[in-house]
Structure 1
């Protein structure tokens, strides 16, 4: 919020570009309307479907890349050798000189291979409101990224170009997990390059649980409530359970995550009608049950932090021992490691979200998609697409990233995220990553095992007006946590009515 926000986005974007490991956003992301959405996708289906720079050019160091094969075909020339200039996001700000220098060195290596391409970096970090302003001002970078929640909107507004021919020419067919690639596709055409994918889970403090007499994290929401009661200590400002509660979009994102475990379905939150209109469907059933549960946690069990938490402060609560159990995306461990370098991450584990009344565990899935500006000329489109593919798949570049991770604490490897690829390439990437992991990956085994075995279903984020829906739900949660007299069912019904009139009825 992740959505998304993106506190250490610049470093994480660079890490993605260099080492193909998922890095986190704090805000939600989602899928296009034509991606599988009516029912939860099993983890097994997603994880195992098949399973201009001012620095001087720097020569890539010699590296053993035998374990990571070259899987794409790069052209001998880009734009036929004609001069071409593109603007790309992901450049770190001047306040991060070391990381900025590394980014510029990578750009210089690309320009050694394609000297006719001039790359202008942008430190723009995507957010729905600021991106709309860029679109209105015709200032969208040539190469940009969006949350999965916004892919459909970007495609339908013809902001992103069709990259299908680039995928075919680069021989990328069959490399990406098809369930994830579907998020970047519409009507049989590919409009984006998946950058990373995450799933939500339960972060927990192993030491705090053991001290309270618990050997494992909770497996049901009722068990969580009783455990959180024991773990809460107001005298030392420790909350038994935490999630984002600032009332913004990120709150709606995490509450939706919880609602999925109570039985909510993505396609039911905002329903697509046969006549092409949309109806708000989140004021009944599982979402209301979730809101009632949150009210119980706040006013009956009294296990939540007394202050409102945004994405960063929710992660901080876990990192600083002020919350024992935390709803979070697995990639937030990246941020915790870089923001709190003195914290021993071995005391934190990651598990599947507790099961709901139907005894099923479900996780919300999100991520980022790289896209190319549709208003760019053909030479710029080609240069932008191949620059992103080169940073993401060139074996030498990936190895450089891993080598940097061994020297620079800003590079984090081993977070419990979802793989982007399938087959032998993903296996080789996993093997390489294991050699460089600087997070306690053994502490995430509960989550990994549950996801890879299919015990956890994966539900995509709301596809229609996702960010606006998150905002509506976030406001409802804020009211519930603030006023004990609030009736969750009545409050969310009112919110859904406003959302219907102000948002859904305006969609064409």
Structure 2
């Protein structure tokens, strides 16, 4: 699952909605990804490409992106870039892909590329990535997600690992901060439950947020379940088996149930997703939730939250250890893209500083982005996983980032250090469908105090095995 592509993670919708109308880009042009050629001011042939990795109209960073677009097109008179904000969604991807209406450059999540590649909707980027040096500088484990038969069809845009996201103001009101104003981070799931209970008792606000729809409940449940020793999918004699009705999985689901009925620590509304978390964190309505550093600016942008009222800690420890789900987003190009459009897209990404180039020119926009975030009072400093393994790239970007740190890193160091935490990738087969199956059982235990976790998981395993793994 993502960390929301621009924020990471939103979960994918269930239904595939087929539409018969052509989709248009914000610029008013055709977003089909077909090449448009013409003649530039210097007499060279021009290429037009559609960039789907673009801020929404209410994003405060949009003016900065528009400025970059103008500068980019001035510096590259042979390129015309059209823009179409396209947050990846399973309910819109198929009809857009089938009708040839995908933007040339688009983002998706770590769970999706093999589906897109196998369906033939992704352009082969192998040669261009080698030309621009991405193949050697990027995290090889992430690159494996977008490879097939030795060819590469995308590259990581961001990576995250899950942590514990805190509202500092509510921790202060509950008396749960030290002499320096730093929250007393719960280190175990037992401590998390008791901390959440205290926040509810002292402030009247929910202590912990747990999503239950759009696959997000199942997605976040993985952190707890792995820490209780649960497994979800295993290969047995070459076939995939669903195994998430084990005693360990039952204990993890019972823990979630107890957060509601034993500790009274959850939100009153049981049908919520991450968009509700952004709102509730941003308006001081909930004390904690699972999250990632990439989300920090969403409640600042949408709800005017102070950057200094957020903190993040490493994931708590369960009976079998500390496990954090790893995910992220990827860039891909549509199969309708021409080689010229792909190269134009890579020129844009290099201009944005999303490249292994460490020259001052290449880092200019990366630095401007951080400076703009600082100007908008967004969080600058904390971050999730690095895309790059090239030490020169990592060092150069960290040196730029360090110039603009604008928060008390004591509020974030526990998350950044991530000590004692095992980072695990998402399950390999039908993970999005698995999350939705788990949503159902989570909703059941949070709406019915008498719900039986074992019976619910037994049924979910049978259904998931029949509907998905038997067909894998």
Would the TM-score normalized by the shorter structure come out above 0.5?
yes
Alpha-carbon distance in 1 for matches of 2:105, 2:126: 16
Structure 2: tracts of 5 or more residues without a match: 13-24, 28-39, 179-183, 356-361
1:475 is matched with: 440
Deviation, 1:428, is: 2.0
Distance 1:319 1:291 in 2: 28
Please name the residue that 1:244 is paired with.
211
Q: For 2:375, what is the secondary structure of its paired residue?
A: coil
Shift, 1:479, TM fit: 0.7
Aligned residues of 1:203 and 1:349 also touching (Cα < 8 A) = yes
Given the superposition, is the C-alpha separation of residues 194 and 353 from structure 1 closer, same or farther in structure 2, using an over 3 Å criterion? same
Please give the secondary structure, in 1, of the residue aligned with 2:381.
coil
Cα drift, residue 408 of structure 1: 3.4
* DSSP-derived class of the 2:436 partner: helix
Query: Cα–Cα, structure 1 residues 313 and 237, in superposed 2: closer, same or farther, change >3 Å?
Result: farther
Post-superposition offset of 1:324: 2.5
1:214 CA displacement: 6.0
Residues in 1 aligned to 2:151 and 2:317: alpha-carbon distance in whole angstroms: 36
Partner of 2:425: 460
Cα deviation, residue 417, structure 1: 1.4
1:323 to 283, 286, 307: 286
Cα RMSD, aligned residues only = 2.8
Alignment of 1:37-52 (within 5 A): none
Correspondence 1:59-458 to 2 at 5 A:
82-94=45-57, 99-206=61-168, 208-209=170-171, 211-212=174-175, 215=178, 216-233=184-201, 237-245=204-212, 247-264=213-230, 268-272=231-235, 274-275=237-238, 277-308=239-270, 309-341=272-304, 343-358=305-320, 360-391=321-352, 392-393=354-355, 394-409=362-377, 412-422=379-389, 423-451=391-419, 455-458=420-423
Distance in 2, Cα, partners of 1:94 & 1:364 = 31
CA distance in 1, matches of 2:205, 2:418: 29
Check whether the contact 2:8–2:295 (CA below 8 A) recurs between aligned residues.
Answer: yes
Show the counterpart of 1:62. none
- Give aligned pairs, total: 431
Change (3 A) 1:201 1:260: same
Equivalent residues of 1:53, 1:104 under 8 A apart: no
TM-score w.r.t. length of structure 2: 0.83
- With 122-131 and 85-94 compared, the bigger mean Cα shift is at 85-94
How many Å separate the matches in 1 of 2:48 and 2:286?
A: 48
**Which residue of structure 1 lines up, in the alignment, with residue 18 of structure 2?**
none
1:438 and 1:186 map into 2 onto residues whose CA distance is 42
CA distance in 1, matches of 2:235, 2:351: 38
> Would the alpha carbon gap of residues 166 and 217 (structure 1) be closer, same or farther in structure 2, given more than 3 Å must change?
same
In structure 2, the residue matched to 1:2 is 2
- The answer to whether residue 40 in structure 2 is matched with residue 25 in structure 1 is no
Tell me which stretches of 4 or more aligned residues in structure 1 moved more than 6 Å. Answer: none
Tell me the TM-score normalized by structure 1.
0.77
Please name the residue that 2:358 is paired with: none
* SS of aligned partner of 1:196: strand
**1:479-501 deviations in whole A, cap 9, x for unaligned?**
11001111111112212222222
Which of the pair has the greater relative contact order for Cα pairs under 8 Å at 6+ separation? 1
Residue 468 of structure 1, CA deviation = 1.0
Structure 1 equivalent of residue 15 of structure 2: none
